[in-house]
Structure 1
Amino acid sequence: MSNRIEPLPPTLSERLNSQTHVVSITSALKEVVQNSIDAKATTITIQLNLYSMHFVVIDNGIGLLPAELDLIGRPNVTSKLKRWNQIKNVKTYGFRGNALHSISEVSKITIITKVKNYNSSWLKLPDSEACLLDSKTRTDGKKLHGFPSDGQGTLMSVGHILYNLPVRRKIFMQEPKYKSYNTVREDLLQLLIHNPHIKMKMEYTDEYGRRNMLLNYTLRSVWLEGADLYSYVFRNVFGPVIPANTMKAIRLKGKGVLVTAAISKFPVRLKDFQFLFINRRKYINSTILKEIKSLFRQVAFGSSSITEPSIKSVGKPYNAYPVFIIDVECTSNIDDLIQSPSKDIIRPTLHEVIDPMIKKIVTLFLKSEGYSVPETAVNKEEQEQEQIQIPRSMAHEFSTKSNSLLTSKSGFDSKIKMAKYIHKDPTETINPILRSPNKVTKKAIKRLPRPLSSNNQKSPNKRRLKTPISTNDCWLDIPNVISNSPNKGLIESDLMAYQLTSSILKDCTIINQVDDKFILLKTASSQDRESVLLIVDQHACDERIKLESYLKDFFQDVINGTISSQPLWGIEIDVNFNERALFEAFRTEFQEWGIVYQVSQNFSGRDILMLQSLPTLLNSKANGDIYYLKKVLLQHVYDLQNFKRLKLNRKDRSTNETNISKFDWWKYINCIPKVFQEIFNSKACRSAIMFGDKLTQQECTILIKKLSECKVPFQCAHGRPSVIPLTKLRPGSDSYDKDICTLNGALSDYDI
């Protein structure tokens, strides 16, 4: 079979050309570099200019014959495929014969090439035939240079990209350049992971016309393999995102599939460094990525790292993701090769084998690092991998257990523990309400003995709780919980379907403070609503009030540009290329929050972030801790990149926002950086009323009134409930069924 370029047979091209797509500059660059690799190139040089929509790729591959040059740009022209049944044996990236045709449809391509046994280079200009390149040939006023007489290779210059699609070109030019750079680096990583012997150099042109180095890769040792090789390639492409020698290699083989993985032992703040490949092609599967993420989250991966800041955070406000490269080798299948015009694999033919093996290899990594992987996750993977048939007797038990775990999580997403079911005993009265000594912290409060049932059992039976499916009219509703037991348990089912709103809270009657910890309320009754007894956590209540007060004042200062800042000198933070591009893209957004910096290079050529001023509250919190500042700043820049935080647009504010009484601060809540949210959460918690603080009736009334005016009145700054319904009051009476519930069960989030 000839390896020279020629048109595909019509029947074959018709089957391959089932999908068409418009290329972007990044996808065009990827196709051209893949062609260089398919041409057996060992050295590739790339020059990229996103501002002029132009790139050049130079390689030392086998080159093109003069007759082949005139075929470039025509549809269904390739050297890699002649017959349909050859697809399953394709080892090259390209085989459709449509890549250069798609590119030429939206750009101008110039090619200079030389075959080794030819004495001269040949030239192919746009809309012209191939010709011999001589010393006088010029294009755009520039002299063109060929390859040395003893050399070989191809130079492909692609310019004026999207020239005939002005709207698409305009949209691309308005996009942040870091997105394109990230896409290019991901594509180059894919190619270098599977072709590590190739020497690759890439330069990019910035907005001032200066050339900068994006990649300069050379394999330092032919003996590198496994995790060492993956880590070396990754750090060369993306920079020092992770420390050297911190990736661990694991291999798993079975059923004709070999899975090789390199996973970082320490986390990063961005989840973009997670790559799946099957037979050198990208594996695009959001489901498997979510399951992998769940495994790492269940074991609290990232709770410790190499450079822990001295400042600790409450909970886990900042992201922690693993870096991993998982490569799968298996028998090639035609269906896998033609799923996408971008040559990615969406659903592999052997997905029933590959997906469980990927999850298994992640589990093995976590166990080898000392993490305790939940048995449910391990059992599920083993069942998927070994395809175990579960007997009916076991299936019911397994289903019940799974549903219980899921519903307990969804029903108590405000960190409420599963309540204990208490048998109803008419002869038993409610325990004295919180007779324990007054304590400030919840952990120090001792739990009262569990009430005994009428048959004198030492401990009551526990019943599983489920969350009914219902449509709530308010996203601030208290979670609905109903006992599965036919007997009445913790709280009546119709009571737990009760929905609290701010208006109901505003019309409540204060009964009294309870044990200097809680406030008892009675809701107003109406024709269609009975009175309900509510209990309010006085600390959570005041914490919510103070938090919203702090946020409102802070947003007012930010919007008016009056935020208090402090100048800084000599604070430099090392960043990699990706981080530098992100900080440059969002510089204006950080300035809105009083964070001013410059991105430059130090005397040794390293990219650095030079902080010039910080808001006073952030500067006081950081206290000069460089690691903490880098962590919180990166968190916000990644949140902006992934649209987890929105940009603050002060131009759209209304004239009423200059009046603090009419200031609608709540609409900016999705813009605030997490570090400020954390600071105000902590400040509100420390300054709020504590357990043990006595309140007068008037103080309780004022507290509840302020709570009813909050945007989120039913949870504290850290997500715990501030108000819980206890029981319905009997019609025409202010008494209630004391045997329906106890505070010990209703307030199970607190260690009473």
Structure 2
Amino acid sequence: MAIVKLNDNVCDLTWATQRIPDVYVAVREVIMNAIDAQAKTIVIGIGDDGLSFTVDDDGYGIPSHDLYLLVGQTAGIKLNKLKEIVINDLATSKKNCRGRAYGSRGDALLCLSIVASVRIESCHYLKNIRYRKVFEKNRVVFNGRIQSSKCAHGTHVAIDNLFGNVPVRQRQIRPLRARVLAFVQSLLRKYTIVHDSITFKLVDSNVQVRLLRYPAYSTPMDLFTRVCGSISFSQPQKISWCNGTTTINGFLAFFNFESTSNTRGNYLAQVKRVAQSFSSISFRSHWFNSFELECQSYIAVHLSKAPMQCNQLWPILIIDVVILEHEYDIVDSCIILRNAEMLRDDFNTFLHRILPITASKSPPTPNIAESAMTQLNNEFVDAIWTRTVDVHQQLNKPSTRERIKPIFSSMKTQSSQQSRYFRTTQKPQARKRRKLSAKHLSQNLGVFVQTTKTSRKLSLQLSKSTLCNVNVLGQVDRKFILFSTKTSPMLVCAIDQHAADERVRLEELEDKYLTQSMFPRAELVEPEDLQLNPMEEAVVKDEHGTLAQWGFEINATTMTLYTAPFVECRQAQIDDCLEYITLLCESRTVRPPVITRLLHSRACRSAIMFGDSLSHRACELLLQQLSKCRLPFQCAHGRPSIAPLVQLN
């Protein structure tokens, strides 16, 4: 097939859509222009279609000669490193221009002019003359001086009909206006904390109605109020740390949050919420989402090491991280460190200094009876999964007396440990295994049944259809069901009766509850007031329908929780609601973790237990039900439930 060279317009369009993949990136890039221009007030307007927006600022403005060259191949002059914009002062001629940046990548306006209709108006702070440049379908339709009563310095950028030149992309990414507004609000909350001297406004472009306003703050108390909202916190303290390579400056405060649950899982979910919702981390006075998430993960790991307490003081961090210029690069709004472990080590050292963790002096005493029972229950599973199916076909013809071939004879077992189920009369000898050919592997191996203990060995192919045609041999020790397969190769397998029935019941519960439009819920004994920060309150208002769909009825005005999901005598708690709200701040399409826990718990508690006697017919019915499941070889918790024992010739 011949290779055809694409024309320049197609190449530019492909390149521009990669740089500006959606409306969210476009809005962020234009806002970054205004921030780079050292504006004091930035006004963002959103259109009705979700694909049009405007950004006005009162920054230094774009000089006329730059505006003439802007949105051309020479416009992408922003360096990868963040550099301070120094304006060429014509009066004193003492300052040199180190670089004028138009977008965090440097080519944002150029890309937008290719995929949208763009109108740029700007007035430089040294001249009272306003210039305009208009693009339609990647062509300049106007470029020159205009008469305007508004001669204040600043820039106005209007983007209309984004991806109008790419109808397929426009249909694929056309967002709801509410989604765009929620994204801009979340973005401005971050920017207003990092860029504390800028006032941000969000308006409706059509009717010019102000939707949101974030004024510049004057004291640290005002800054922490934006982070915490109505939650009371201690007096902020100024913190500073430096080791020569990394410098961290900012403020630290504490707030008290009383938890209603004492489980380790809910405690870790609460730690994650504190690290993500009550900390703001910037890099050299600029906000990078990936950098903040990485630092927040370090905070969560550090806080998780603290002992669990009912009433605990949680930290609120607002810090700025500065690393030497030769130690990092910035590529596509992501910080690339030359030494990846440097940030982790320095940040952990900083956390240990400002937030020392006091470990518990008396570790909990293990329950001897519980440990013994756990060891007894896991003995059979360990014995099975420390052996491997041998699918190696011997080159020599086997003797007529060799009818059954043990599949665990090729692996060294733990002879020093006596087993209740496997009696080792002598220590098995390890034999040399022939190298299997690729043809043999392709014929005998497909979907593997293996665990971490057998992942380094050869495993046998077991498919879902294997369970449809089996012979049940019976129940063993009231814990396992033995059966033989009728397909080739013929195997004798053991399956955990509790795990098998647990999988069947879990998928029945999922089909019952997850197919409903509204998840079952129950009223709380007393309504609970949620302690939320402004970002979480905005998420509750934006995703009120999603929360109600999963059973969380919340009054968006008073932030009061009235109902919670309910599954057969088990109900979610306030901590589960807070955990889901934290996840909604990251992704709007996730299922509440408490729903998964409730379904798994109910499936486990109602399933056949170890010690329950099953008839031969009951074992057959259980395997028939298991063969219809979507994941028949895993229990509700993800552990394997089946193990091959013997391969028959």
What residue is the counterpart of 2:567 in the other structure?
617
Q: Give the counterpart letter for 1:433 in structure 2.
A: Y
Q: Give the counterpart letter for 1:75 in structure 2.
A: L
What residue is the counterpart of 1:579 in the other structure?
536
Q: Give the counterpart letter for 2:175 in structure 1.
A: Q
Residue 107 of structure 1 aligns to a residue whose secondary structure is strand
In 1, Cα distance between equivalents of 2:319 and 2:120: 34
In 2, Cα distance between equivalents of 1:549 and 1:74: 66
Residue 523 of structure 1 aligns to a residue whose secondary structure is strand
What residue is the counterpart of 1:149 in the other structure?
none
Residue 510 of structure 1 aligns to a residue whose secondary structure is strand
What residue is the counterpart of 2:85 in the other structure?
92
TM-superposed CA distance for 1:203, in Å, is 3.6
In 1, Cα distance between equivalents of 2:630 and 2:648: 31
What residue is the counterpart of 1:174 in the other structure?
175
Mark the CA change 1:158 to 1:418 in structure 2 (over 3 Å): closer, same or farther: farther
Q: 2:421 aligns with which of 388, 412, 433?
A: 433
Mark the CA change 1:481 to 1:614 in structure 2 (over 3 Å): closer, same or farther: closer
Confirm whether residue 499 of structure 1 aligns to residue 487 of structure 2: no
Residue 466 of structure 2 aligns to a residue whose secondary structure is helix
1:215-234 equivalences in 2 (<5 Å): 215-220=214-219, 233=223
In 2, Cα distance between equivalents of 1:164 and 1:683: 49
1:384-399 equivalences in 2 (<5 Å): none
Residue 700 of structure 1 aligns to a residue whose secondary structure is helix
Would you say the 8 A contact 1:566–1:614 is kept in 2? yes
Residue 728 of structure 1 aligns to a residue whose secondary structure is strand
Q: 1:629 aligns with which of 562, 577, 592?
A: 577
Mark the CA change 1:179 to 1:576 in structure 2 (over 3 Å): closer, same or farther: farther
In 1, Cα distance between equivalents of 2:80 and 2:514: 60
TM-score with structure 2 setting the length? 0.61
Q: 1:479 aligns with which of 443, 451, 456?
A: 451
Structure 2 unaligned segments of length 5 or more: list them.
1-14, 87-97, 134-141, 255-270, 360-377, 388-410, 431-437
What residue is the counterpart of 2:11 in the other structure?
none
Mark the CA change 1:719 to 1:250 in structure 2 (over 3 Å): closer, same or farther: farther
1:513-592 equivalences in 2 (<5 Å): 513-516=475-478, 518-526=479-487, 528-532=488-492, 534-556=493-515, 558=516, 573=530, 575-590=532-547
Q: 1:357 aligns with which of 327, 342, 345?
A: 342
Would you say the 8 A contact 2:279–2:317 is kept in 1? yes
Q: Give the counterpart letter for 1:548 in structure 2.
A: E
Residue 680 of structure 1 aligns to a residue whose secondary structure is helix
What residue is the counterpart of 2:34 in the other structure?
32
Indicate the larger mover: 182-191 or 47-56: 182-191
Residue 495 of structure 2 aligns to a residue whose secondary structure is strand
In 1, Cα distance between equivalents of 2:476 and 2:625: 19
**Deviation string for 1:424-483 (max 9, x for gaps)?**
699x9985439xxxxxxxxxxxxxxx979769xxxx99xxxxxxx989977683437549
In 1, Cα distance between equivalents of 2:612 and 2:159: 72
What residue is the counterpart of 1:200 in the other structure?
199
TM-superposed CA distance for 1:682, in Å, is 0.8
Q: Give the counterpart letter for 2:491 in structure 1.
A: S
In 1, Cα distance between equivalents of 2:335 and 2:67: 28
Q: Give the counterpart letter for 2:84 in structure 1.
A: K
1:307-318 equivalences in 2 (<5 Å): none
1:329-728 equivalences in 2 (<5 Å): 329-331=323-325, 336=329, 339-340=331-332, 344=333, 346-347=335-336, 351-352=338-339, 355-364=340-349, 369-370=356-357, 431-433=419-421, 477-479=449-451, 481-482=453-454, 497-516=459-478, 518-526=479-487, 528-532=488-492, 534-556=493-515, 558=516, 573=530, 575-590=532-547, 593=550, 599=556, 601-602=557-558, 608=559, 616-617=566-567, 621-622=571-572, 625-632=573-580, 634-635=582-583, 637-638=584-585, 640-641=587-588, 643=589, 645=590, 673-725=592-644, 727-728=645-646
In 2, Cα distance between equivalents of 1:551 and 1:188: 38
Would you say the 8 A contact 1:548–1:710 is kept in 2? yes
Structure 1 unaligned segments of length 5 or more: list them.
1-18, 138-143, 147-152, 225-231, 309-320, 373-411, 435-449, 462-468, 485-492, 603-607, 646-671, 732-752
Mark the CA change 1:163 to 1:298 in structure 2 (over 3 Å): closer, same or farther: closer
Residue 717 of structure 1 aligns to a residue whose secondary structure is coil
Mark the CA change 1:300 to 1:157 in structure 2 (over 3 Å): closer, same or farther: same
What residue is the counterpart of 1:445 in the other structure?
none
Would you say the 8 A contact 2:44–2:202 is kept in 1? yes
Residue 45 of structure 2 aligns to a residue whose secondary structure is strand
TM-superposed CA distance for 1:500, in Å, is 2.5
Q: Give the counterpart letter for 1:174 in structure 2.
A: P
Would you say the 8 A contact 1:681–1:718 is kept in 2? yes
Would you say the 8 A contact 1:478–1:714 is kept in 2? no
Mark the CA change 1:571 to 1:432 in structure 2 (over 3 Å): closer, same or farther: closer
Indicate the larger mover: 681-690 or 244-253: 244-253
In 2, Cα distance between equivalents of 1:583 and 1:206: 25
TM-superposed CA distance for 1:543, in Å, is 1.5
Mark the CA change 1:124 to 1:305 in structure 2 (over 3 Å): closer, same or farther: farther
Residue 579 of structure 1 aligns to a residue whose secondary structure is helix
Residue 502 of structure 2 aligns to a residue whose secondary structure is helix
In 2, Cα distance between equivalents of 1:619 and 1:697: 32
In 2, Cα distance between equivalents of 1:431 and 1:362: 48
Mark the CA change 1:208 to 1:114 in structure 2 (over 3 Å): closer, same or farther: closer
Would you say the 8 A contact 1:55–1:159 is kept in 2? yes
Q: Give the counterpart letter for 2:612 in structure 1.
A: D
RMSD, matched Cα: 5.7
Q: 1:109 aligns with which of 117, 120, 134?
A: 120
TM-superposed CA distance for 1:529, in Å, is 0.8
Residue 531 of structure 1 aligns to a residue whose secondary structure is strand
What residue is the counterpart of 2:243 in the other structure?
253
TM-superposed CA distance for 1:327, in Å, is 1.8
TM-superposed CA distance for 1:358, in Å, is 0.5
Mark the CA change 1:510 to 1:128 in structure 2 (over 3 Å): closer, same or farther: closer
Question: How many pairs are equivalent?
Answer: 522
In 2, Cα distance between equivalents of 1:691 and 1:675: 26
Residue 467 of structure 2 aligns to a residue whose secondary structure is helix
**Deviation string for 1:57-103 (max 9, x for gaps)?**
454x6x56xxx76446322599xx9x99x999942298246559649
Would you say the 8 A contact 2:250–2:319 is kept in 1? yes
Q: 2:43 aligns with which of 42, 46, 49?
A: 46
TM-superposed CA distance for 1:171, in Å, is 6.8
Would you say the 8 A contact 1:292–1:359 is kept in 2? no
Would you say the 8 A contact 1:590–1:596 is kept in 2? yes
What residue is the counterpart of 2:139 in the other structure?
none
Mark the CA change 1:306 to 1:475 in structure 2 (over 3 Å): closer, same or farther: farther
Mark the CA change 1:610 to 1:298 in structure 2 (over 3 Å): closer, same or farther: closer
TM-superposed CA distance for 1:31, in Å, is 0.4
Residue 153 of structure 2 aligns to a residue whose secondary structure is strand
Residue 633 of structure 2 aligns to a residue whose secondary structure is coil
Would you say the 8 A contact 1:544–1:713 is kept in 2? yes
Would you say the 8 A contact 1:257–1:328 is kept in 2? yes
In 1, Cα distance between equivalents of 2:445 and 2:224: 49
**Deviation string for 1:97-124 (max 9, x for gaps)?**
6559649944333446766xx9xx6555
In 2, Cα distance between equivalents of 1:245 and 1:720: 48
In 2, Cα distance between equivalents of 1:595 and 1:297: 29
Mark the CA change 1:219 to 1:710 in structure 2 (over 3 Å): closer, same or farther: same
In 1, Cα distance between equivalents of 2:186 and 2:581: 23
Residue 165 of structure 1 aligns to a residue whose secondary structure is coil
Mark the CA change 1:482 to 1:157 in structure 2 (over 3 Å): closer, same or farther: closer
Mark the CA change 1:539 to 1:332 in structure 2 (over 3 Å): closer, same or farther: closer
Q: Which has the higher strand share?
A: 2
In 1, Cα distance between equivalents of 2:412 and 2:132: 87
In 2, Cα distance between equivalents of 1:570 and 1:429: 55
In 2, Cα distance between equivalents of 1:689 and 1:722: 14
Q: Give the counterpart letter for 1:515 in structure 2.
A: D
